[in-house]
Amino acid sequence: MTMTQDDRPTLKIAGAIEFSPAPEGHPVDIRPHQGHFIDGMFVEGAEEGRFQTIDPATARPLATVAAATAQEIDAAVKAARKAQQGVWGRMSGAERGKFLYRIARRLQERAREFAVLETMDNGKPIRETRDVDVPLAAQHFFYYAGWADKLGYAVPGRTPHPVGVAAQVIPWNFPLLMLSWKIAPALACGNTVVLKPSETTPLSAMRFAQILQEVGLPPGVVNLVNGPGATGALLVGHEGVDKVAFTGSTGVGRHIMRTVAGTKKKLTLELGGKSAHIVYRDAALTQAVEGVIDGIFFNQGHVCCAGSRLLLEASIADEFVERLKIRMQSLRIGNPLDKNTDVGAINSAAQLQRIQHYMDIAEQEGAGIWQGAACPAPSEGFFHLPTLLTGVQQSDTVVREEIFGPVLTVLTFRTPEEAVAKANDSEYGLAAGVWTEKTAKLFGTAHALNAGVVWANGYNLFDPASPFGGVRHSGFGREGGIAGLWPYLEAR
């Protein structure tokens, strides 16, 4: 990995304000042995295959976690089926909604605890878990709670029915938030679920199960099974499952789609992306710099919709890149539990290796590599400095493939047509951003982008009322909003 600093501009305010450490001082207790949550009960799980979940900021283990056996997965699916047919599917929408409201309230009450736990297990800054992940997760339950008794309005001309048992597999980048995206709409629609958290971030889901017990959710309505990808494969392949929902890589999504082929299982996939971020010369440049920084460095770039392909109008490219470099030098990288931290830890050694692999490719492809932050990265744990790749081509690997890290490629364009053509020249189609103060150009570009989500003069905004999901290789189906109900309803 190279770090060229020759052209590094001097930041006049750097060091002008010294930050004192501001760590979150009340760590949470973590049960050293984690198992599964099946039929309303915590089960210890098998010793064979037990694995560790670590704090990526220190590389130290937090707990050991059991890998679910085929019997345990079967028990979870059967518990979900029994609960769906016996209780949850028969309950009135209004009553189901009240359970979801209770869950939302409990999440709000225990927000600090969840934020700290999530930051410890994931490595993302406490500021993000505190201000984004946990509040949005609670809001997601609150939002879908209100839909539970209004489902008829979501499927015009048809009558809504639950699908049945949903198998849900979620990634490590937003563990609790992705759990809420999966569970809240499923439950609102009268389905029951078996969810598998990521093997590197299972802790917030297991703590969430405590909330389910606290609110008195009937046993079997939500079941959690832990384990690696093989556990997920067993779950989605289980014949007792009616609906599969997966968020993760396009490669795994493809595999799941092949598994589900020929069955009656409904499927939604929220997969990878290589989202374009277009900045026109007539954009509000100061805000656009903030948006681009948010777009790629939020959550260390571990965001499926990260704005990882910056497209700059040629006439402002040099100036904009200089502004980005200056801004990057004020990003504080380090202890995720410190409230001043902007860029936390990469979630795992494997992910850090993957990013470094792409850095090697960038070097081979002749990219200009520039890295910067307000402070050096910690020596322990897994960290990667915010990175710019300049002088790249549309055909380069680092421009076409998802890196899933704090790495931004920079390309230029001269006309709106060229910007749209370059943005759409991707197998993916998850998200895109566009910045201009010219209204017609803003709408025109936004609607021409072949992406499921477009942010116009903003980036990386999420809301439970707003449908999220991709086109083409980024998957299909939506989460959030009215469209987020459709995958969980059998509308006849």
Partner 1 sequence: MSRLGIHKTLKMYVGGSFIRSESGRVIAHHSTAGDVMYVPRASRKDLRNTLEIARKAQPGWGGRTPYNKGQILYRIAEMLEDRAGAFPAPKAQVTTAVDRAVHHAGWSDKIVAVLSSINPVSSGHVNYAHLRPVGVVMVLPSAQDGLLGLVEAICAPLLMGNSVIVMVPTELSEVAGALSEVLAVSDVPAGVVNLLMGDVPSVMDTADLLDDLDTLVVGPGTLSPERLTASEQAAARTMRRVIRAPSAEAPTDAMGLGRLAEVQTVWMASGGPGVTSGGGGY
Name the residues annotated as catalytic: 270, 304
Alpha-carbon separation of residue 461 from 152, 358, 443 (angstroms): 28, 27, 18
Minimum separation from the CB atom of position 483 to partner 1 (A): 5
Q: Where are the alpha helices (DSSP H) in 124-240?
A: 126-128, 134-145, 175-188, 203-214, 229-237
Residue of 301, 290, 339, 289 lying closest to 131 (CA atoms): 339
Query: DSSP letter at 467?
Result: -
Minimum separation from the CB atom of position 156 to partner 1 (A): 5
**What is the C-alpha separation between 379 and 132, in angstroms, rounded?**
27
Residue of 208, 213, 231, 189 lying closest to 77 (CA atoms): 231
Q: Which two tokens stand for residue 489?
A: 């309803």
Calculate Rg over the CA atoms of the chain: 22
Which residues contribute to the site for partner 1 (CB under 8 A)?
125, 127-128, 131-132, 139, 155-158, 250, 253-255, 257-258, 260-262, 269, 271, 287, 290-291, 293-295, 297-299, 303, 331, 342, 442-443, 446-447, 450-463, 465-469, 471-476, 478, 481-483, 486, 491
Minimum separation from the CB atom of position 297 to partner 1 (A): 8
Contact (CB, 8 A) for 424 and 449 = yes
Q: How many residues appear in the chain?
A: 492
**What is the C-alpha separation between 244 and 178, in angstroms, rounded?**
14
**What is the C-alpha separation between 464 and 482, in angstroms, rounded?**
10
**What is the C-alpha separation between 62 and 53, in angstroms, rounded?**
6
Question: Identity (one letter) of the amino acid at 91?
Answer: M
DSSP codes of every residue in 108-137 = HHTHHHHHHHHHHHH---HHHIIIIIHHHH
Q: Which residue has the tokens 């904009």?
A: 320
62 or 446: CB nearest partner 1: 446
343 or 362: CB nearest partner 1: 343
**What is the C-alpha separation between 484 and 479, in angstroms, rounded?**
4
**What is the C-alpha separation between 273 and 424, in angstroms, rounded?**
12
Minimum separation from the CB atom of position 21 to partner 1 (A): 19
238 or 478: CB nearest partner 1: 478
**What is the C-alpha separation between 143 and 465, in angstroms, rounded?**
7
**What is the C-alpha separation between 477 and 182, in angstroms, rounded?**
12
Alpha-carbon separation of residue 17 from 20, 136, 374, 471 (angstroms): 10, 32, 11, 45
Which residues on neighbouring strands pair with residue 55, listed in sequence order? 60
Count, in order, helices (H) and strands (E) of the chain: 15, 20
Residue 196's H or E segment, with its range, is strand 192-196
221 or 328: CB nearest partner 1: 328
C-alpha angle 277-333-385 in degrees, rounded to nearest 5: 60
25 or 157: CB nearest partner 1: 157
Minimum separation from the CB atom of position 151 to partner 1 (A): 13
Q: Which two tokens stand for residue 280?
A: 């026109």
Minimum separation from the CB atom of position 78 to partner 1 (A): 26
Minimum separation from the CB atom of position 301 to partner 1 (A): 11
Contact (CB, 8 A) for 347 and 56 = yes
25 or 262: CB nearest partner 1: 262
Tell whether the torsion through CA atoms of 297, 301, 304 and 309 is positive or negative: positive
